[in-house]
C-alpha cells in the first residue's frame, strides 16, 4: 500500500472509505514522528491529514462519465465510486525546512465552498474539518478541478516547530 521514493517522499493510496482514514492518519503520525517535531505537532499533523481524508470521503462526488457535466452525489459513506476514482492519494515530502502533505482525491473531489456549515442557535460554525486544518498547519492550499479532482496541500514548517 505504501511505496517509498527518493528524497524523503512517501506515497500512500487508500480506498475512499471511512474506515481507511485511520490508516492515513496513523501513517502521518509515524512519518511526522521521524522528523524533529514535538509530540503535539505530530498529533496536529495526524489530525490535519485525517480531516483532509475525511473531507474527501464525506464530500466527494463521483466524476460524471465523460468528464464535465452535472456531478452525481456520492453514495453513502463507505461506497466506492465506479469510475476509477475510488481512492485517496496521500503524499508526504520532507526536507530540512518543512513537511508537505498532499491529500488528493481523483474523483471530482469536494468543493470547500460547498462544505456543509454547522449552525447552532443562529451562529454559523463553518466547516469544522477545514477550520481544524487551517488552525493546525502553517500553510493550507486547496485546489479543485472538475477534471483532476481536489488536492489539499498542507505545510508544516520544521523551523517553526514547537511554536
Partner 1 sequence: MTTQLKIESHMEGQYAAVLSLSGEVDVANVARVREAALKLLERQIKRLIVDLSNVEYMDSSGLGALVALLKRVRESGGQMPLAGAKPRVRRLFEITGLDQIFSLHEDVPAALKEGE
Q: In whole angstroms, how close is the CB of 87 to partner 1 at the nearest point?
A: 16
Q: In whole angstroms, how close is the CB of 154 to partner 1 at the nearest point?
A: 15
Residues 6+ apart with CB under 8 A from 7: 93, 95
Taking CB under 8 A as the criterion, the residue among 19, 34, 38, 75 binding partner 1 is: 19
Of 67-75, 82-90, 99-107, 120-128, the segment contacting partner 1 by CB under 8 A is: 120-128
Cα 11 to chain centroid, rounded: 13
Taking CB under 8 A as the criterion, the residue among 27, 136, 137, 152 binding partner 1 is: 136
Q: Residue holding cell 502521518?
A: 28
Q: In whole angstroms, how close is the CB of 13 to partner 1 at the nearest point?
A: 16
| SS3 labels along 45-110 | HHHHHHHHHHHHHHHCEECCCCCCCCCEECCCCCCCCCCCCCEEEEEEEECCCEEEEEEEECCCEC
Residues contributing to the site for partner 1 (CB under 8 A): 18-23, 43, 47, 50-51, 54, 57-58, 77, 118, 120-121, 123, 125, 128-129, 131-132, 135-136
Amino acid at each position: 500500500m505504501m511505496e517509498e521514493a527518493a528524497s524523503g517522499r512517501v506515497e500512500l493510496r487508500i480506498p475512499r472509505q471511512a474506515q481507511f482514514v485511520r490508516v492515513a492518519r496513523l501513517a502521518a503520525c509515524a512519518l511526522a514522528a521521524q522528523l524533529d517535531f514535538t509530540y503535539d505537532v505530530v498529533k496536529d499533523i495526524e489530525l490535519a491529514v485525517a480531516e483532509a481524508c475525511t473531507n474527501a470521503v464525506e464530500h466527494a462526488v463521483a466524476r460524471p462519465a465523460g468528464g464535465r457535466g452535472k456531478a452525481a452525489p456520492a453514495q453513502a459513506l463507505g461506497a466506492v465510486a465506479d469510475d476509477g476514482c475510488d481512492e485517496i492519494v496521500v503524499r508526504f515530502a520532507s526536507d530540512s525546512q518543512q513537511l508537505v502533505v498532499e491529500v488528493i482525491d481523483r474523483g471530482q473531489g469536494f468543493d470547500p465552498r460547498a462544505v456543509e456549515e454547522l449552525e447552532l442557535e443562529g451562529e454559523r460554525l463553518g466547516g469544522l474539518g477545514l477550520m481544524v486544518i487551517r488552525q493546525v498547519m502553517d500553510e493550507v492550499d486547496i485546489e479543485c478541478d472538475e477534471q483532476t479532482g481536489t488536492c489539499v496541500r498542507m505545510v508544516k514548517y520544521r523551523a517553526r516547530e514547537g511554536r
